[in-house]
C-alpha cells in the first residue's frame, strides 16, 4: 500500500476551446453533464435505447459492491447490434471496414458484406462444435478476419479471447489454458515490416502445452508454409466455401459474458478481464458517438491492434454498433517509410484519428517533414489514449497533425473499465494540453488521499470510482477473489486500478502515472508524468522515462532516460541543461540526479514505457519479468551503457 499522496507540481496554462463551428454541429452538448448528474441511472437508461434489444431490461442497475449487474433481464446480441440491424437501413451498402494491408493491398466490406462473412463464419464455428458459453481464442494479424471472427463468436454467444499477434507461444499457451478454449483461430503468418511473423508456428508450439483445443482454423494471409495437423487444423477459406449465410444471432442476457481479455498483472499470471454484453455495449456505443463526435460520412481510424481493449471497444464494438466506417491498417507507421500513416490519411481522407502518445512521440522524434508532405486536411478530430500525453507532444499533435483546427480528446480508461471514463467532449470541453479533463457524463471519478478522503482542488492523490459504470469489468475469469483483491481492496467499496492523478482549480484531472512508478524524493511523492513532461518540453527531447533510484540521503533520486529527436546529438552540457530545465519547471526537489541518453526506451507491446525495468537497471538488480517487453535488445543496450557511465 502506498505511503503518501502524490504531489502536483507542474502547471500548464494553455487552453483550447472548441471552434464555434465544431460546437454547433457536435453530437453531445453540455446538457449531458447536467442531465446525468441529476439522474445518473436515468441517463444510462436513456442511452440503452441506442441498442436493439430482443427483450427489454427491467432494472438499470443491481449494485452489490463490488459486483454490478446492468440492464437486468435485458436480452440482446452484440453482433446483431454491430451488423444485422444496419441492414434494415440505408447503411447496408455503407462501408463498414476499409482495410489496407502492409503491402498496399486493400479490401472494403460493406455492412452487407460483413453480415455475410460473419454469419458464414459463425456457421463454421458451429460446425466445429462451438456453442453458447464456449471460449474461442483468436491470434490473428490486423486483418478483417480478426473482426469477423470476434463478431462470429459474439453471434453465437461464445466468449472470445483475442491474443495480440506480438505475443509469444508461451504467452499464448498460458492464455489458452486459462480460458480453456475449444477453438483457436490464427493465420499462416502476419506481415511485419516486410517480414513474416510465423503465427501458426507459434501456435503449434503453444499447443504442445495445451489439451483443450479441438480445432485450429488457419487464415491464409502470407502464403507462408505451415504444417497442418490432420484432423485438428483446418483452412479458413476451405471452411467458408460451403458455409451457409443464415445464422441467427443468439439472444444473450445483458450479463452474459461477451469476451475475456488478458491484461498482465505486475507479476506472474495474466488476469482474464471479463466483460459482459448489455452494459458494455451501451458504454462503448455512447462514448464512441460522443467522444469522437461520429458523423455518417466520417472515416474513423483507431490505430490500436484488435488484441487490446482499445481495439475491442473502439475498432469493433463501439464504432460498428454506431454504423461507422472503420479504417483498418495492418502494418506499422514506419514501413515502407516513416510517412505511412500520413499517406493513408491522405489516400482514404480519414477524418478521425485515435492513436497513442508513444506513437505521437515517435512522430515527433522523426520530425514534422513527414506529415507536412501529405494532405491531412480531411482530419477533423484527434484522439489519444494509453499513457499521459506530455503537453509538448499534445501541442505537436495539434499543430502538425491537426493543422491547429482539430479538437484533441485525451481519453483516460483501462482494459478493466471497458469504456472511456475521462475525456473532453469535443464540442463542449475547453481542453488543456496534458489533461484528460473531466469524467464522461454518467461517470463519477474521485481523487482521494491515503485515508480515503477526497483531496482538495490543486492536490494529487489516487484516482478511484465508488459508483459502477456500465462497461466495467465484472470479474477476473475464474478468479473472483483476485477481482476483489486487485481492484476493490485498497479502500472499502472503492475501485482503484493504480493511477495517481491531480485535480486542478477547475476540477480537471491530470494523470500523474502509475502509483507503482511514483518517485519519492525526501518524502515528496513525484509522479513520473510530470518530470517526463518537463523533459519533453525541451525542443531537443522526443521522449523521456523517469524513475526513482535508491539514494542514501533523499530516499530516492530522480534518474532519467532520454531520447532525442532526429538530427540532435548528445552535446557536452546537455544533461546539465536538462537538469536545470526540470528544476525550473517543477522545482529543485525534482532535479534529476542522472540523465542517460538512449535511442530507445523499453516498452510493452502496447507501447507503454516499462519503468520497472529501468529501475532494475539503475539499481543493478537482475531484471524482473520481461515477458511483456516488446524488444529485448533495448535492455541489453541500456544495461551496458548505464554500467559504462556509472
Q: Catalog residues that contact ligand WT7 under the rule CB under 6 A.
A: 263, 309-310, 385-388, 410-415, 436, 497-499, 511, 514, 606
* Helical (H) or strand (E) element with 499: strand 495-503
Residue among 379 and 409 whose Cβ is closer to ligand WT7? 409
**Smallest distance from the beta carbon of 475 to ligand WT7, in angstroms?**
16
**Smallest distance from the beta carbon of 385 to ligand WT7, in angstroms?**
5
CA trace torsion 153, 156, 158, 160 (10° rounding): 10
Residue among 81 and 358 whose Cβ is closer to ligand WT7? 358
**Smallest distance from the beta carbon of 355 to ligand WT7, in angstroms?**
11
Q: How many helices (H) and strands (E) would you count in the chain?
A: 22, 30
Residue among 11 and 643 whose Cβ is closer to ligand WT7? 11
**Smallest distance from the beta carbon of 423 to ligand WT7, in angstroms?**
8
C-alpha–C-alpha distance, residues 352 and 325, integer Å: 11
DSSP string, 245-297: S--PPPPEETTSEEEEEEE--SSSSPEEEEEESHHHHHHHHHHHHHHTT--TT
Residue 316 grid coordinates: 469493433
How does DSSP classify residue 532? H
**Smallest distance from the beta carbon of 103 to ligand WT7, in angstroms?**
28
**Smallest distance from the beta carbon of 389 to ligand WT7, in angstroms?**
6
User: 271-298 burial, b if ≥16 CB within 10 A, otherwise e?
Assistant: bbbbbbbbbbbbbbbbbbbbbbbbeeeb
Residue among 338 and 398 whose Cβ is closer to ligand WT7? 398
Residue among 79 and 315 whose Cβ is closer to ligand WT7? 315
Whether the bond into 423 is cis, omega within 30 of 0 = no
**Smallest distance from the beta carbon of 512 to ligand WT7, in angstroms?**
9
Residue among 222 and 415 whose Cβ is closer to ligand WT7? 415
Q: Which residues pair with 183 in a beta bridge?
A: 136, 215
Check if the beta carbon of residue 141 is closer than 8 Å to that of residue 103: no
Of the CA atoms within 13 Å of residue 519, those in its CB half-sphere come to 32
Residue among 592 and 607 whose Cβ is closer to ligand WT7? 607
Residue among 92 and 444 whose Cβ is closer to ligand WT7? 444
Residue among 214 and 504 whose Cβ is closer to ligand WT7? 504
Chain residue whose CB lies nearest ligand WT7: 415
C-alpha–C-alpha distance, residues 517 and 506, integer Å: 26
Q: How far is CA 552 from the centre of its chain?
A: 38
Residue among 130 and 497 whose Cβ is closer to ligand WT7? 497
Classify burial at 583, counting beta carbons within 10 Å of its beta carbon; exposed 0-12, middle 13-18, buried 19 or more: middle
| Alpha-carbon dihedral sign for residues 571, 575, 576, 581 | positive
Residue among 299 and 497 whose Cβ is closer to ligand WT7? 497
**Smallest distance from the beta carbon of 313 to ligand WT7, in angstroms?**
8
**Smallest distance from the beta carbon of 273 to ligand WT7, in angstroms?**
8
How does DSSP classify residue 391? H
Check if the beta carbon of residue 508 is closer than 8 Å to that of residue 432: yes
Check if the beta carbon of residue 433 is closer than 8 Å to that of residue 12: yes
Residue among 284 and 328 whose Cβ is closer to ligand WT7? 284
| Alpha-carbon dihedral sign for residues 291, 292, 296, 301 | negative
**Smallest distance from the beta carbon of 384 to ligand WT7, in angstroms?**
6
DSSP string, 546-584: EEEEEETTTEEEEEEEEEEPTT----TTHHHHHHHHHHH
Check if the beta carbon of residue 153 is closer than 8 Å to that of residue 136: yes
**Smallest distance from the beta carbon of 606 to ligand WT7, in angstroms?**
6
**Smallest distance from the beta carbon of 514 to ligand WT7, in angstroms?**
5
Residues 6+ apart with CB under 8 A from 39: none
Amino acid at each position: 500500500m502506498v505511503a503518501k499522496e502524490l504531489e502536483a507540481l507542474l502547471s500548464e496554462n494553455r487552453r483550447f476551446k472548441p471552434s464555434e463551428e465544431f460546437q454547433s454541429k457536435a453530437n453531445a452538448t453540455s446538457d449531458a453533464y447536467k442531465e446525468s448528474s441529476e439522474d445518473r441511472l436515468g441517463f444510462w437508461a436513456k442511452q440503452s435505447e441506442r441498442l436493439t434489444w430482443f427483450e427489454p431490461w427491467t432494472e438499470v442497475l443491481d449494485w452489490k459492491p463490488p459486483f454490478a449487474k446492468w440492464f437486468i433481464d435485458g436480452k440482446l446480441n452484440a453482433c446483431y447490434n454491430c451488423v444485422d440491424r444496419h441492414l434494415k437501413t440505408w447503411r447496408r451498402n455503407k462501408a463498414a471496414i476499409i482495410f489496407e494491408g502492409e503491402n498496399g493491398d486493400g479490401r472494403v466490406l460493406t455492412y452487407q458484406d460483413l453480415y455475410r462473412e460473419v454469419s458464414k463464419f459463425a456457421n463454421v464455428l458451429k460446425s466445429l462444435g462451438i456453442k453458447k458459453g464456449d471460449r474461442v481464442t483468436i491470434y490473428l494479424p490486423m486483418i478483417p478476419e480478426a473482426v469477423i471472427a470476434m463478431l462470429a463468436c459474439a453471434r453465437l454467444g461464445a466468449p472470445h479471447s483475442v491474443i495480440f499477434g506480438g505475443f509469444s507461444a508461451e504467452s499464448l499457451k498460458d492464455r489458452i489454458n486459462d480460458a480453456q478454449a475449444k477453438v483457436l483461430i490464427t493465420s499462416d503468418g502476419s506481415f511485419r515490416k516486410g517480414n513474416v511473423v510465423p503465427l501458426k508456428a507459434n501456435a503449434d508450439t503453444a499447443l504442445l502445452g495445451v489439451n483443450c483445443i479441438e480445432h485450429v482454423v488457419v487464415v491464409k494471409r502470407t502464403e507462408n508454409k505451415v504444417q497442418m495437423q490432420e484432423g485438428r487444423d483446418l483452412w479458413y477459406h476451405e471452411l467458408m466455401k460451403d458455409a451457409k449465410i443464415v445464422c441467427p444471432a443468439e439472444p444473450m442476457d445483458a450479463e452474459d459474458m461477451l469476451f475475456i481479455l488478458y491484461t498482465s498483472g505486475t507479476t506472474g499470471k495474466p488476469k482474464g478481464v471479463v466483460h459482459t454484453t448489455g452494459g458494455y455495449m451501451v458504454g462503448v456505443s455512447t462514448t464512441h458517438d460522443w467522444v469522437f463526435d461520429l458523423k455518417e460520412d466520417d472515416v474513423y481510424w483507431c490505430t490500436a491492434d484488435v488484441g487490446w481493449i482499445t481495439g475491442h471497444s473502439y475498432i469493433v464494438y463501439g464504432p460498428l454498433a454506431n454504423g461507422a466506417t472503420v479504417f483498418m491498417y495492418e502494418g506499422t507507421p514506419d514501413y515502407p517509410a516513416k510517412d505511412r500513416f500520413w499517406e493513408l490519411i491522405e489516400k482514404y481522407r480519414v477524418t478521425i484519428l485515435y492513436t497513442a502518445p508513444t506513437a505521437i512521440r515517435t512522430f515527433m522524434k522523426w520530425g514534422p517533414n513527414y506529415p507536412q508532405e501529405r494532405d491531412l486536411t480531411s482530419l477533423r478530430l484527434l484522439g489519444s489514449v494509453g499513457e499521459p500525453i506530455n503537453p509538448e507532444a499534445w501541442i505537436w499533435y495539434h499543430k502538425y497533425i491537426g493543422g491547429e483546427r482539430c479538437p484533441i480528446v485525451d481519453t483516460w480508461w483501462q482494459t478493466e473499465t471497458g469504456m472511456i471514463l475521462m475525456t473532453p467532449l469535443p464540442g463542449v470541453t475547453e481542453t488543456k494540453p496534458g489533461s484528460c479533463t473531466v469524467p464522461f457524463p454518467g461517470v463519477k471519478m474521485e481523487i482521494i488521499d491515503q485515508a480515503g478522503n477526497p483531496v482538495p482542488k490543486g492536490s494529487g492523490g489516487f484516482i478511484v470510482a465508488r459508483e459502477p459504470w456500465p462497461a466495467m469489468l465484472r470479474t477476473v475469469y475464474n478468479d473472483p477473489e483476485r477481482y476483489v483483491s486487485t481492484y476493490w481492496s485498497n479502500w472499502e467499496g472503492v475501485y482503484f486500478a493504480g493511477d495517481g492523478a491531480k485535480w486542478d482549480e477547475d476540477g480537471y484531472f491530470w494523470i500523474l502515472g502509475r502509483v507503482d512508478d511514483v518517485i519519492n524524493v525526501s518524502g515528496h511523492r513525484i509522479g513520473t508524468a510530470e518530470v517526463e513532461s518537463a523533459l519533453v518540453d525541451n525542443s531537443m527531447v522526443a521522449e523521456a522515462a523517469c524513475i526513482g533510484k535508491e539514494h542514501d540521503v533523499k530516499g530516492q533520486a530522480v534518474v532519467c532516460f532520454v531520447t532525442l529527436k532526429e538530427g540532435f546529438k548528445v552535446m557536452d552540457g546537455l544533461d546539465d541543461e536538462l537538469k536545470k530545465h526540470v528544476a525550473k519547471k517543477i522545482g529543485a526537489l525534482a532535479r534529476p540526479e542522472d540523465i542517460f541518453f538512449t535511442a530507445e526506451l523499453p516498452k510493452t507491446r502496447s507501447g507503454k514505457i516499462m519503468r520497472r525495468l529501468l529501475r532494475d537497471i539503475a539499481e543493478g538488480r537482475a531484471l524482473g519479468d520481461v515477458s511483456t517487453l516488446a524488444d529485448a535488445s533495448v535492455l541489453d543496450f541500456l544495461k551496458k551503457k548505464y554500467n559504462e557511465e556509472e
